[in-house]
Amino acid sequence: MLTRIAGGDIIDPVNGRSGKGDLWIRDEQIVEPPAGGKADKTFDASGCVVMAGAIDIHSHIGGGNVNTARLLLPEQHAAHLARPAETPLSNAGWSTFETGCLYAKMGFTTVVEPAMNPGAALHTHLELADIPIIDKATLAILGNDDFLLSLIRDGASEQAIDDYVAWTVGTTRALGVKVINAGAAAAFKENVRNFSLDDVVPSYGVSSRNIVKALQASVGRLGVPHPLHVHCNNLGAAGAADTAAATIAAAEGLPLHLAHLQFYGYGTEGKRKFSSEAARLAELVNATPEVTIDIGQVMFGQTVTVSSDVMRQFSARGTAHPKKWVIWDGDGNGGGIVPYRYREDFYGTLQWAIGLELFLLITDPWRVFFTTDHPNGAPFTAYPKLFELLMRRDARTAMASGLSKSAMALSTLASIDREYTFDEIAIMTRAAPAKLLGLKDRGHLGAGALADVAVYRRGEDIAKMLGSAALVFKNGDLVVKDGEVTHYRWGRALRLNPAPDKAMVRRMEGFYQDRYGLSLDWFSFPDSAIGREKPFAEVA
């Protein structure tokens, strides 16, 4: 089938297109305009912006922590979507099925779940498979597991570490590797409650820095496209900017991605000993080209923090709102679910401002990524309003006028005039994520690309425009029209597939038998277990 999207303002930074034109789709791919070709179907996009489908690199949409949060907070689902008058609990607003629909309505077609416990890979992929329309991917968590820490402690060869990392990525069907507060969860088990980059894990004698550097180097040697995805130490603490600065310096010329940098933008100035260090961190990121970051923007209202940083979540339980929480521990990271309400008080205002400062002060849109660390900073349904804040200075000014003046005095936000352009939005949410993840078939509108396309009707109300797409195509299928889902389809999970080293497989079989008394088969699964036709798509 040949489809023509006619007369739209095409914004495709990868291929240098910016202006009125037509876009042609044959079946699932974008194609060159056919000579004398006549479209089977034409969509009028005059007065509309046409971009590739958006890509979210960091959003917690599946796995054990997300489900535990649903069970803990059924009454809070309204923070994500108004709950219907009558519905079973499992189908309340924050369901896996609704996740795909809500993303698609905003023009997002690919989303990465950034924190998969390798031991729960099957559960995670089963849940992701129930999210319609969008493609998904996962990052496997390493860096607090006994096997890796023992390898590093015992001076194992680079090859042995690479074989273990490759086995983990392949077995869990992940697209990359995540490290969360490296070593801290292992230290937490021995009653350590604060842990920084050069602190040493008891019983292993390895520092957090040792772990990060070992994984960073291994990911590079293996050719994993996405750099090591780092959740730094000391998340959310006053003075955490020092930890982020030290981690940026630790990149040392090799690619490194820092997650939700907003949660590390905190200094210790002022009478409350809490201030913005966003300008300092932005300057460091600007000067360190091998580092990429995502923001984790805070938006006001009720949400829930879900994290495998068990040390951080344990320390945050006292601020839970409402007053209930879950902390769990196990091999590897464990995790915690702590509900939280961001208020328009001094601390909430400063967190909100710090995220925007980072967005606006980091100059290269190819190295800063659009996230709220869903749901930690805010549900992803807050994205349309956040787009407006980035693209309109007057919207920021109007919102800041009703917030804490003492907090705003400790931020540079009021002095920043920058407004994001549509070209910069297209880079930050399409072209750059595709490049970072090694997804050559999306993020652009060139011939041969997957026909993931979002069409937005221009209007003064940026939030309305980008929150309710006029048309969205997924693999060439029209799935959204005028902000409503019109067609359901099942996406795939994007994965790497490195060949496993046979000796490492034997070692892992022995490890799981000795440690748990279980066969390795309990921790691996065939593709057929997912119950969808072709559930995975392989990435080089």
pLDDT digits (tens, 9 = 90+) for 252-270: 999 999 999 999 999 999 9
Give DSSP secondary structure letters for 305-359. Answer: EEES-HHHHHHHGGG-SSS--EEE--SS--EEEEEEEE-SSHHHHHHHHHHHHHH
CATH number assigned to the domain comprising residue 330: 3.20.20.140
Cis status, amide bond into 498, omega within 30 of 0: no
pLDDT in tens, 146-190: 999 999 999 999 999 999 999 999 999 999 999 999 999 999 999
From the CB of residue 516, how many other CB atoms can be counted at a distance below 10 Å?
Answer: 13
pLDDT recorded at residue 77: 61
- 135 domain-assigned: yes
> What pLDDT is recorded for position 94?
56
The beta-carbon contacts of 76-80 under 8 Å, at least 24 apart in sequence, are 76/302, 76/304, 76/339, 79/301, 79/302, 79/303, 79/379, 80/375, 80/379, 80/381
At 459-507, the pLDDT tens digits run 999 999 999 999 999 999 999 999 999 999 999 999 999 999 999 999 9
Note down the domain range covering 260. 51-494
Whether residue 429 is predicted with pLDDT greater than 80 in this model: the reply is yes
pLDDT confidence of residue 540: 93
Mean pLDDT across the chain, nearest whole number? Answer: 95
Contact 209, 197 (CB under 8 A): yes
The pLDDT, as a whole number, for residue 415 is 97
Average pLDDT estimate for 299-309:
95
In the predicted model, is pLDDT for residue 90 greater than 50?
A: no
Q: Residue 154 domain-assigned?
A: yes
Type of residue at 459: G
Residue 81: pLDDT band by 50, 70, 90 thresholds?
low
pLDDT bin (cut points 50, 70, 90) of residue 37 is confident
Confidence of residue 82 (pLDDT cuts 50, 70, 90): low
Instruction: Reply yes or no on whether the pLDDT at 515 is more than 50.
Output: yes
Amino acid identity of residue 225, one-letter, is P
Rounded to whole angstroms, how far apart are CA atoms 189 and 195? 12
Query: Is the residue at 152 inside a domain?
Result: yes
Residue 528 lies in a domain: no
| Residue 108: pLDDT over 70 | yes
The pLDDT of residue 387: 98
Q: Is residue 134 part of a domain?
A: yes
Contact status, residue 228 vs residue 247, Cβ threshold 8 Å: no
Mean pLDDT of 4-28: 97
pLDDT in tens, 139-148: 999 999 999 9
- 3-state secondary structure labels for all residues of 180-247: ECCCHHHHHCCCCCCCCCCCEECCCCEEHHHHHHHHHHHHHHHCCCCCCEEECCCCCCCCHHHHHHHH
Q: Number of structural domains, the chain?
A: 1
Residue 112 has pLDDT above 90, yes or no: yes
| pLDDT tens figures, 201-244 | 999 999 999 999 999 999 999 999 999 999 999 999 999 999 99
Q: Which residues contact 510 (CB under 8 A, 6 or more apart)?
A: none
**pLDDT given at position 76:** 67
Share above pLDDT 70 across residues of the chain, in percent, rounded to a whole number: 96
Q: CA 236 to CA 225: how far, in whole Å?
A: 29
If you average pLDDT over residues 514-529, what whole number do you get?
90
pLDDT at residue 78 is higher than 70: no
If you compute the radius of gyration of the chain from its CA atoms, what whole number of angstroms results?
23
Sequence-distant (6+) residues with CB within 8 A of 341 are 301, 302, 303, 321
Give the pLDDT band of residue 331 (cuts 50, 70, 90): confident
